[in-house]
Amino acid sequence: MIVCICNNVFDREIRQAVNAGVQSMAELRTNLDVGTCCGKCHSCAKTLLRE
C-alpha cells in the first residue's frame, strides 16, 4: 500500500528501512523522504515504524 503519495513510498519500503536499522521519523525522512511534503502520511509512517 502507498503510505506517502507525494513521494511514492510504500509500506514495504518503510518496513525494509526499519529492518535495516532505521529507528526514528527523522531517519525515515532522510532515507525515504516520508512526510517531507504535505505531511498527511506522517501518522501512518510512524505507526509502521513502531510495529
pLDDT tens sequence across 22-42:
999 999 999 999 999 998 999
User: Which pLDDT score, from 0 to 100, does residue 11 have?
Assistant: 97
User: Which pLDDT score, from 0 to 100, does residue 47 have?
Assistant: 95
CATH number of the domain within which 39 lies: 1.10.10.1100
Asked if 33 and 4 count as a contact pair (C-beta separation under 8 A), the reply is: yes
User: Which pLDDT score, from 0 to 100, does residue 1 have?
Assistant: 95
The whole model's pTM is what?
Answer: 0.90
Asked if 41 and 5 count as a contact pair (C-beta separation under 8 A), the reply is: yes
The total domain count for the chain is 1
- Expressed as residue numbers, the domain containing 43 is 2-50
Q: 18 CB contacts (<8 Å, ≥6 apart)? A: 48, 49, 51
User: Which pLDDT score, from 0 to 100, does residue 28 have?
Assistant: 94
- Closest residue by Cα to residue 45 from 19, 21, 15: 15
Q: 42 CB contacts (<8 Å, ≥6 apart)? A: 25, 34, 35
